[in-house]
Structure 1
Amino acid sequence: MIDVSGLRKVYRDRGREVVAVDGVDLRVRDGEIFGVLGRSGAGKSTLLRCVNLLERPTEGTVTVAGRELTALGEGELRLARRGIGMVHQHFALMSSRTVAGNVAFPLEIMKVGRAERARRVAELLELVGLADKAKAHPGQLSGGQKQRVGIARALAGRPAVLLSDEATSALDPATTQSILALLKSLNRELGLTILLITHEMNVVKSICDSAAIMKDGRIQESGAIPDLLARPGSRLTDELFPLPPAEPGAVTITFAGQAGEPVISQVVRKFDVDVNILGGALEEVAGVAAGRLRVHLTGGGRDAALAHLSERGLLVEEAR
């Protein structure tokens, strides 16, 4: 659904060049929720704004729903952007308009008739759980309600793609979870492809199917979360399940979906080894129980036990 290739964005500031995005390739599949994770200044928001060409890339191409946006003129681009909704970090609502008026605004720009506009606004407010707030003004709403208005407005033109720029970073944890649940619901019910920018690992754990880690304008790794969990040396796994530095001889076991299986007790009995647990973590990620366990294994059957764990589909990494 989203194909970014060789993307580079350079700003010029007081005679010097600042490279915000540096040679990024990104593929987002139709109907998935894709999270781009990184710290402030990593280039995440610039990348997102390049996807709908609010920022025009210095180099590279952006293709959305099979259409290369970077090849379009301004008129064609305006029409193409109707298929891309945008949710902002700080809501970006118009204080002088009611909730219904804010949601109706893009429909007015699209010259949708009054009756159809009213019907669509009512439908959207029902969808985001704000049917009773149509006549309220933004100043009367909580942060979570404001973000729901922003989401409803982004969906007004029936987009196939929703871009979310740190949509939960200004919200408290409970409200964050409610907004993430709403996004997941919209993804399922509408078949919406969602590309979201975040610095919060909890967002990735809660709703993302795939993820990328961005640093200094570059993608460090990218892929479906189960694939990243199975990749040796994965940065995402290190971020999801932080453990202290491994001592020589320690073994780190990463698992996804095998959390209910007694694999450690099985290798103890089968291979006559002793297991000393040094640390571990377990979370639900991408809908499955996943985690890491760091252990010391001793005994004559150590190598056979590690081979057995690998054969069971667990990622086994030995510290040297």
Structure 2
Amino acid sequence: MIQASGLRKSYGGTVALDGVDLHVRQGEIFGVLGQSGAGKSTLLRCVNLLERPTAGTVTVDGQELTTLGGKELNLARRRIGMIHQHFALLSSRTVAGNVAFPLEVMGVPAAERRRRVGELLELVGLGGRGGDRPNQLSGGQKQRVGIARALAGNPSVLLSDEATSALDPATTQSILALLKRLNTELGLTILLITHEMDVVKSVCDSVAIMTGGRIEESGAIAELIRTPGSRLTREIFPLPEPAPAGSVTLTFTGDPRQPVVSEVVRKFDVGLSILGGSIEELPAGPVGRLRVALTGDDTGSALAYLRERGLLVETP
């Protein structure tokens, strides 16, 4: 649904994006994770051409946006909704007026606008609040208005620029749950910018980790978890580094109740000490990471057995 190739963006002598490639599949929630200054927001704004790349191409839903300008680009942008970090609501308008604004720009007749606004406010949980002003709303409610406005033109892609960073944890989870529901019910492809790992763990199917204008690691979370040396795995499951000599790090997916560890102890008569680890419930399912110390005469066969059972086995 979104394909960026060789994206570069420079501001004078400052390089914000340095050869970024991005592939977002239709219908997924794709997170771009990185600290402030990594280039995340610049990348997002290049996807809908609010920032025109210095070099490279952007294709959304089969249409190469970097070749467009003027009216053609404006029409293409209607298929791309955008949610802002600080809501960007018009204080002079009511909630309904804010949601209706893009429909007015599109020239939608008044009766149709009213119908559509009513549907959208119900969809985001704000039915009956259309006459309120933004200053009467909580932060989470303001963001729901922003989401409704972003959906006004029936987009196929939704861009979210740190949409939860100004919200408290409970409100963040409610907004993420809403985005996940919209993704499922409307088939929306969502590109989500964040600096919070908890956001990625809550809703993302795939992720790209950015540092210094480059993508360091990218792919489906379920695949990255099984990739040796994955930075994503290290950040989701932080363990003391460097790993002690003789220790083994095990990463596993699926039902954590499967007695794989006890099986290997019995089968190969080895000792196993758990040095640390945890289990996380991710959108792809439960994932665990353990650091263990194995002792005994047949540890090599024990590790081979764990690999056969689908565990990722890493040694220092």
* TM tier relative to shorter chain: over 0.9
Aligned equivalent of 1:151? 147
**Pairs aligned (count):** 315
Overall identity of the aligned pairs, in %? 73
TM-score, normalised to structure 2, is 0.99
State whether residues 86 and 166 of structure 2, in contact with CA within 8 Å, keep that contact through their aligned partners in structure 1.
Answer: yes
Equivalence for 2:257 = 260
3-state DSSP class of the match of 1:280? strand
The one-letter amino acid paired with 1:45 is S
Q: Deviations over 1:21-67 (max 9, x none)?
A: 11000000000000000001000000000000000000000000000
CA deviation vs aligned residue, 1:165-222 (integer Å, no higher than 9, x gap): 0000000000000000000000000000000000011111111000010000000010
SS in 1 for 2:185: helix
Q: Note the 1:137-286 alignment, pairs <5 A.
A: 137-245=133-241, 246-286=243-283
Q: Does 1:40 align with 2:14?
A: no
Q: Secondary structure at the match of 1:131?
A: coil
Q: TM-score, normalised by structure 1?
A: 0.98
1:310 to 299, 304, 307: 307
Structure 1 residue 257: deviation in Å?
1.1
1:261 Cα deviation from its structure 2 partner? 0.7
- Aligned partner letter, 1:8: R
In structure 2, what is the equivalent of residue 127 of structure 1? 123
Query: What is the alpha-carbon distance in structure 1 between the residues aligned to residue 69 and residue 179 of structure 2?
Result: 31
**1:92 is aligned with what amino acid?**
A
Distance apart, 1:83 and its partner CA = 0.1
Mapped contact 2:249–2:313 kept (Cα < 8 A): yes
- Give the secondary-structure state (helix, strand or coil) at the position aligned to 2:17: strand
Does structure 1 residue 3 correspond to structure 2 residue 3? yes
2:20 and 2:78 map into 1 onto residues whose CA distance is 24
Q: Aligned match of 2:89 in 89, 93, 113? A: 93
Runs of 4+ aligned structure 1 residues displaced above 4 Å come to: none
> Residue 51 of structure 1 corresponds to which residue in structure 2?
47
RMSD across aligned positions (CA): 0.6
Gaps of 5+ in 1: none
Following superposition, the deviation at residue 145 of structure 1 comes to: 0.1
Output the CA distance in 1 between the equivalents of 2:255 and 2:35: 31
- Which residue of structure 1 aligns with residue 99 of structure 2? 103
For structure 1, which segment, 27-36 or 279-288, has the greater mean C-alpha deviation from structure 2 after superposition? 279-288
Gaps of 5+ in 2: none
Secondary structure of residue in 2 paired with 1:95: coil
Moved more, 249-258 or 194-203: 249-258
C-alpha distance in 1 between matches for 2:209 and 2:235: 10
